A and B are shown apart, each in its own frame.
Chain A
Amino acid sequence: MPTTFTLNGKKTTIDADPETPLLWVIRDDLKLTGTKFGCGAALCGACTVHLDGEAVRSCQIQARDVEGRDVTTIEGVTGNVAAAVRAAWIKLDVAQCGYCQSGQVMAAVGLLSQISKPTDQDIDKAMDGNICRCSTYHRIRAAIHEASTTLPG
């Protein structure tokens, strides 16, 4: 069944079963493999993308949910917040194995887009659903604070 939505700023039409997880639409149908499969059950955050600017788990969003809506993946996230996060991630060398990092970055951008000066508590509440088996959490936290220093209050 055809579904039309905006992906990373471009109008996109796919022909998929309406119940297909968005994650598989992105990775298999549209070949954007930056978004990762981790658990398939909304438990790890590796598949985080933005739906209308809000972080969601693409393994739980179905193709029919995105009709007429805006989807942003790690390949297409732009703007001053994304630039600040990218710079901080590089400066603090956040990633270790890197598998979870596209989800972490999308979550960090989602957080800083709404709370430009987050506290540690804000970071805990906003990032707790994004798991890192390398335990880079302390660097993720530091990088979010670092990015926030470059953003207007």
Chain B
Amino acid sequence: MVPHPIRAVLPFAIAGIAVALAAMLPVTTPATVAKAETAVVAGDLFKPIADVLRHPRCMNCHPRDDRPRQGDDRHPHLQNIVRGEDNLGFTNARCTACHRDENNKFSGVPGAPNWHLAPASMGWQGLNDSELCTTLKDQDKNGGKDVAALVKHMEDDKLVLWGWAPGGDRLPVSKPHAAFVTELKAWAAGGAPCPTAN
């Protein structure tokens, strides 16, 4: 049996706890619903960009480890090719030992100006949309590029553009480059929002 004095205050204590718990729960109002929908839409601006960045033509040269990838199945580069200290390959196995400024029409070896690996800090393999977006925008990782510079890189860089015309039996990025740039600019104009981690 609960002692009398406590019995007297118990209903008030329970009511107080209920009020406190209610205050911790989200309150749904028209304003918060609109804010949530805006966030979802803003995050969605990055999704079509993520789809392109995950294409083998982009991802193969953005590994998180030290092995470039090859082919549409993204297998590790044959011949034990590794990143090297400057992202241009190890001694004797420099990227430019084989990859020149354009595709080699005789051998089929692909080529484009400035063929190289992205730095390990810009490795993308295994990242979800949120991680990919925040990594892409992180100027400590991306070589100091702001959003405008990122857009320009993906709009103009000849090595990037090679992904849309890779030649041989390599799959090009499926979305037209102009459409991709339009989506990029829409994302940038919207403040370059990243999807939430969930």
* Chain A interface residues toward B at CB < 8 A: 19, 21, 40-43, 48, 54-57, 59-62, 65, 107, 110-111, 114-115, 122, 124-129
Q: Which of A19, A40, A62, A124 interacts with B80 by CB under 8 Å?
A: A124
Closest-by-CB residue of B relative to A114 is: B91
A-contacting residues, B90-117, CB 8 Å: 90-94, 96-100, 104-109
Q: Smallest distance from the beta carbon of B98 to chain A beta carbons, Å?
A: 4
Q: Which of A19, A42, A43, A126 interacts with B92 by CB under 8 Å?
A: A126
Between-chain CB contacts (< 8 Å), 18 pairs: A19-B105, A19-B106, A41-B107, A41-B109, A42-B97, A42-B109, A43-B78, A43-B79, A55-B92, A56-B97, A57-B97, A59-B107, A62-B104, A115-B91, A126-B91, A126-B93, A128-B80, A128-B81
Report yes or no: B92 in contact with A129, Cβ–Cβ below 8 A. yes
Closest-by-CB residue of A relative to B104 is: A60
Report yes or no: A21 in contact with B106, Cβ–Cβ below 8 A. yes
Indicate if B59 sits at the interface (CB-CB under 8 A). Answer: no
Report yes or no: A125 in contact with B105, Cβ–Cβ below 8 A. no
Closest-by-CB residue of B relative to A21 is: B106
Decide yes or no: A40 and B92 within 8 Å by CB, A56-B97, A57-B98, A60-B97 being known contacts.
Answer: no
Name the B residues within 8 Å of A111 (CB-CB): 91-92
Nearest 8 Cβ contacts at the A-B interface: A128-B80, A42-B98, A129-B79, A126-B92, A41-B107, A56-B97, A125-B90, A55-B92
Name the B residues within 8 Å of A56 (CB-CB): 94, 96-98
Main secondary structure of the interface of A (DSSP, over half): mixed
Closest-by-CB residue of B relative to A39 is: B107
Q: Smallest distance from the beta carbon of A119 to chain B beta carbons, Å?
A: 12
Alpha-carbon distance between A60 and B102 when the two chains are bound, in angstroms = 11
Indicate if B45 sits at the interface (CB-CB under 8 A). Answer: no
Q: Smallest distance from the beta carbon of A109 to chain B beta carbons, Å?
A: 10
Closest-by-CB residue of B relative to A54 is: B94
Choose among B92, B97, B105 the residue with the greatest number of A CB atoms under 10 Å from its CB.
B92
Indicate if B58 sits at the interface (CB-CB under 8 A). Answer: no
Q: Which of B82, B98, B99, B104 interacts with A125 by CB under 8 Å?
A: B82
